[in-house]
Amino acid sequence: MSKKLLKNAYVLISADDDVEKMNILIDKDEIEDLIPVEITNKREQGIENVEEFDLSGKLIVPGFINAHTHSVMSYFRGLADDVSIDDWLFKYMFPREDLLESEMAYYGAMVSILEMISNGITTFVDMYMFTDSVAKAAYDLGIRAYISRGLSYDTPEGWKKRLNENIGTYEKYNGLDDRIYIGFGPHAPYTVPIDKLKEVAKLAKKYQTHVQIHLLESTNEKQLYNLIDIENTGLFEVPTISAHCVYADEKDIEVLSRSEVNVAYNPTSNMKLGNGIAPIVKMLEKGINVTFGTDGSASNNSLNLFSEMKIGAILQKYKYGPDKFHVEEILRMAWENGGFALEEKLGRLEPGFKADLVVLDINSLEFFPNDLSKLKSHIVYSVNPKNVYASMAAGKWLYFDGKFLTLKEGEEKIYEQFYNYYKTLENKHNSLNFSSNYNTNDNCR
């Protein structure tokens, strides 16, 4: 049966719609029809071979899009909560990242993807090493993923090696199942020189794919490069998601706006690492397409877009006033703005859009009063992962009533492998006794 009918639930088609009761007909990986409940019997007469799901008392909303993360970093959750960004990177992350291996990376990504799925995230955008492992994990678990190799420049050979790895993953996974897409991931303008950014821009055009980059994350970056120079590399002529943009000033916002760069707002990571509050309200005023990202578990420390929306919202209200940054804007950022950035029909539950959706239990305390007019507010400000009943990507249930449906190995097996690899990594690291002036090898950046 390739068709599914989700019956009797309330549906929020998009951030700007009202909640209404209707049935959703899904054909393969797409939404085929939305049928008002009153005329269901009539319209459904012609439908044969359909699997039905009674979702009475539930609310169906678009699947959440996590526009910036590093899924393998689940190993580093809770590793370095109370240190400066430099120590975080050089003393804690880099030395361990150089000990990662391919299968290790696969299980790290698996744990993060399971966390995302159970939190209602149905698409994620990932930049890291071991892109084959991340792509395989995403493919195996059925989530939608946009993955790029983090690229930084050290030596001509190191650069070449990483570029080849990026292209290798592209050739192996791009377009697979119409669900896994591989882009290029120049790490940041301060780790990749201008001529290499030009090279990446050319490659992204040649392969017709997207680019992920970190931009203006910390205050010292302001002195290191000028956004206009990055614009002149041609990098912004392809679909680009730039993470952070905390230190975007008016001129930078002008550049981002005219180049149609997509921004990923990562409020928790930006605050926890002491970077600051991105000027999202200003960006939206200039028509920039802004999305939400969780960043990795090493700096957040969870992959939970409900938390990200709430934190992101109250920060903007603090910065620009409580009457700014309305619920609809926030939900748009978590849904269709992600689809717009990725040039895919995602983030709205309309016919022709991908069948990526989340089912929430509105008979939960967090949803009270569960008056239909209040549900959007509750999604942003009150709901937590406990209220997620099911998640679907590309027309397949990934998570349903507490169970992971696409896991081939048992849940326990995954968790055991993850823990064993975590222990291996920590033991190796401790036995090497790294100095704090650690120089990275060419594994990653």
Residue 63-92 contact track with its own copies, rule CB under 8 A, x = bound: -----------xx-xxx-xxxxx--x----
Judged by CB, which is closer to its own copies: 173, or 422? Answer: 422
How many residues touch its own copies (CB under 8 A)?
A: 63
Torsional class of 19: left (φ above 0), alpha (ψ -120 to 50), beta (otherwise) = beta
C-alpha atoms less than 13 angstroms from C-alpha of 322 in its C-beta half-sphere: 0
Q: What is the DSSP string of 347-398?
A: SS--TTSB--EEEEESSSGGG-S--GGGHHHHHHHT--GGGEEEEEETTEEE
H, E, C per residue of 148-164: EEEECCCCHHHHHHHHH
Residue 247 binds its own copies, judged by CB under 8 A:
no
Does residue number 363 form part of the binding site for its own copies (CB under 8 A)? yes
314 binding its own copies? (CB under 8 A): yes
Vertex 145, ends 141 and 148: CA angle to 5°? 125
- Residue 372 within binding range of its own copies, rule CB under 8 A: no
Pick out residues in 99-138 that bind its own copies (CB under 8 A).
111, 114-115, 118
Q: Which is nearer to its own copies, 135 or 273 (CB)?
A: 273
Radius of gyration of the chain (CA): 21
Instruction: Compute the residue count for the chain.
Output: 445
Of 68 and 149, nearer to its own copies (C-beta) is 68
- Tell which one of 178, 206, 228, 368 touches its own copies (CB under 8 A): 368
What's the Cα-to-Cα distance from 364 to each of 20, 55, 236, 379, rounded to whole Å?
19, 15, 44, 12
Query: Residue 119 — φ and ψ, nearest 5°?
Result: -100, 10
Q: Is 244 helix (H, G, I), strand (E, B) or coil?
A: strand
- State the DSSP string of 34-69: EEEGGGHHHHHTT--SEEEEE-TTEEEEEPEEEEEE
Closest distance to its own copies from the beta carbon of 282 (Å): 17
Q: Is 410 in the site for its own copies (CB under 8 A)?
A: no
Cα separation values, 393 from 98, 139, 160, 177, 346, Å: 33, 11, 35, 12, 10
Q: Smaller CB distance to its own copies: residue 261 or 298?
A: 298
Residue 385 interacting with its own copies (CB under 8 A): yes
Smallest distance from its own copies to CB 382, Å: 4
Beta sheet of 211-215, edge-to-edge order: 64-69, 121-128, 144-151, 180-186, 211-215, 240-244, 262-265, 290-292
**Whole-number minimum distance, CB 254 to its own copies, in Å?**
26
If the CB atoms of residues 162 and 376 are measured against its own copies, the closer one turns out to be 376
With respect to its own copies, which residue has the nearer C-beta, 41 or 430? 430
Q: How many CA atoms lie within 13 A of 177 on its CB side?
A: 20
Is residue 415 close enough to count as binding its own copies by CB under 8 A? yes
Q: Is 8 in the site for its own copies (CB under 8 A)?
A: no
Candidate residues 160, 224, 413, 419; the one interacting with its own copies per rule CB under 8 A: 419
Q: Is 209 one of the binding residues for its own copies (CB under 8 A)?
A: no
State the residues that interact with its own copies by CB under 8 A. 74-75, 77-79, 81-85, 88, 111, 114-115, 118, 268, 271-274, 276-277, 297, 300-302, 304, 307, 310-311, 313-315, 317-318, 321-327, 363, 365-366, 368-371, 374, 377-378, 380-382, 384-386, 415, 418-419, 422, 426
